[in-house]
Amino acid sequence: MSGSSRYGEAEMRRVLHELARRLDMASSGARLLHLANNAVYLLPLPAVVVRITRSRQLHDRVHKVARLGRWFSTVDAPAIRLAPGVPQPVSAGELLATVWEYTPPHQPMPTVDDLGSLLRSWHALPAPGELPQWNPVEAARRRITDADGLDDGDRDWLLGRCDELEPRVAALTADHPECLVHGDAHLGNLIRRHDGRVVFCDFDSTCIGPPQADLTAVAAAEIWFDDRGGTHSALVRAYGHDVTTVPGWPTYRSAQELAFVVSGVPLLHSAPGINGEFRKRLDSIRRRDETVRWIPYARFGIRSDKRLQTP
């Protein structure tokens, strides 16, 4: 492993091969789908997706996701399914993974209308027990603590921002009814199945909290990422609620902006390009300069269609 707590690409390949051997699955021909906070691989035989956390500090999150995956099938939740017959989570050395049935995406691609409809169904589900409360400030602190190459001055400013937001967020959770919150509800986490049903993936941030927490990302992203506009208004029509009209909107927005900034800090050292994007986001937030356009961190992550060979 490298000097940080986060495993690099070559090390993650070794972890994948170890996991595949343990599960009696073939790792030859495996395909790296994404490498950011998790390493995500497609194993062709059987067709499963292996999602491996890249940090030892996130084991509680992996256990939570495994519990959620088992629960999804009992309530027919609009979500991808864990691979059957695999004890979850799976360990490989110091890391943990979950293994999912591969759901090939089908056309048409999911839209904001699909997202709004899906969130209505998601928020109506009976929330399972043993889920954490929505706490974006604590989530931000954990990312800052797990940062790879964060400057001390930036760390101090971000932690100070967490301290400022903490009581405001606590007041929000006291004033709003709670439901099952996906925690990272955007189009990139939607898949249309072969039968046309749209389902969620990526449950690292799933929790119990106010439904507005799932509506804020699209509204805030339109401010910083989208020059064209219209995405948020489409979500309002599809879901039936405008989060920007509630009294707590400034706090929801500030918490989401903090999440947008710190989501890249665990990868500052290991993913080329993220450092510059992080600097741009942090500076524009501090200056409140909304003329700056941000680029999704995912574009700087490692995505590959190359097949991995058994070592």
Please list the pLDDT of the chain residue by residue as tens digits (311 residues).
444 456 778 889 999 999 999 999 999 899 999 887 889 999 998 999 999 998 777 889 999 999 999 999 999 999 999 999 999 999 988 899 999 999 999 999 999 999 999 999 999 999 898 899 999 999 999 889 878 789 999 999 999 999 999 999 999 988 778 999 999 999 999 999 999 999 999 999 999 999 999 999 999 999 999 767 799 999 999 999 999 999 999 999 999 999 999 998 877 877 778 899 999 999 999 999 999 999 998 887 654 443 443 33
- 201 and 291 part of one domain: yes
Burial of 305 (0-12, 13-18, 19+ CB in 10 A): exposed
- 194 and 96 part of one domain: no
Strand 179-181 to strand 48-53: parallel, antiparallel, or no bridges (unpaired)?
Answer: unpaired
Spell out the residues 6+ positions from residue 262 whose beta carbon is closer than 8 angstroms to its own. Answer: 140, 143, 144, 158
- 43 and 136 part of one domain: no
- 61 and 197 part of one domain: no
Counting the structural domains of the chain, the total is 2
Q: Are 149 and 221 in contact (CB under 8 A)?
A: no
**Angstrom distance (rounded) from CA 176 to CA 221:** 23
Model confidence, pTM: 0.91
CA geometry: angle at 190 spanning 279 and 270, to 5°?
30
Is 74 part of a structural domain of the chain?
yes
Host domain of residue 125: 112-300
Cα distances (Å, whole numbers) of residue 213 to 18, 48, 83, 184, 207:
38, 30, 29, 9, 10
First to last CA, the chain: 17
- 34 and 117 part of one domain: no
Domain boundary among 104, 139, 165: 104
Is 1 part of a structural domain of the chain?
no
Look up the CATH number of the domain holding residue 13.
Answer: 3.30.200.20
- 189 and 68 part of one domain: no
Is 34 part of a structural domain of the chain?
yes
Spell out the residues 6+ positions from residue 136 whose beta carbon is closer than 8 angstroms to its own. Answer: 165, 169, 213, 255, 256, 258, 259
Pair of tokens at residue 70:
């088992």
- 25 and 161 part of one domain: no
Buried b or exposed e, range 69-96, using 16+ CB within 10 angstroms: bebbeeeebbbbebbeebebbbebeebb
- Give the orientation angle of helix 212-224 with respect to helix 231-239, to 10 degrees: 160
